[in-house]
Amino acid sequence: MYIDFRQGNFRVWAGGVLGSGFFGFAALMAAVNPEEHLVGGDDPTTRFLAWVCTFLFLIPFGALVIFAPKLLGRTGVTVDQAGIHGIPWSDLAGVGIAYKVNPAPQKVPLPEGVRRQGHVLEFFPAPGVDLTDRVAGLRPATEPPPHPGLPSERFRLPMPDASAVPARIEQAVRSYAPHRWLGTYQRTWTPLA
């Protein structure tokens, strides 16, 4: 089962391309032929502002088109009987989802679920197993383990916040290797990690 982390990215990308393309083209038409497309006619200030607007809209348009493969590429995990994300179940002591909560007081009190951020899928290697450089995108981390008997070293794969991805991963891991599922737990707050 493949669980995609970029659900909905195509809609956002398409909206950005259509919006910036439309307004960029409209501004370009106004800059090239201001007598026909602008109320101010051939006023130099109006023409200058039309060129500024053209660049302000066409630069994001170009960036969205150029970086489309990176923005829309496959990013996610595969969970099956063999393992998760290319790591065999036998090489893992456990798999869980960790999140962090900003300890700073909020101006508007938010429910606990909304305050959660920085979701990561954590892979705890079995004793004697080294996961370093086995799978691209995993970042090593060291923290106190969430459950007794687990190593403090683990590998993290960033996940999107506020999506259905954590629930889908939990369901998949529970169906293939329930004894490896560690649950969802809070990790140490670090603003940048």
pLDDT digits (tens, 9 = 90+) for 75-88: 778 899 999 988 99
Q: Where are the domains of the chain?
A: 2-72, 77-186
Banded pLDDT at 182 (limits 50, 70, 90): very high
Residue 111 pLDDT: 57
Residue 112 pLDDT: 54
Pair type for strands 92-101 and 181-186? parallel
This model's pTM is above 0.75: no
Residue 134 pLDDT: 79
The residue ranking higher by pLDDT, 18 or 107, is 18
Burial class (CB in 10 A: 0-12, 13-18, 19+), 70: exposed
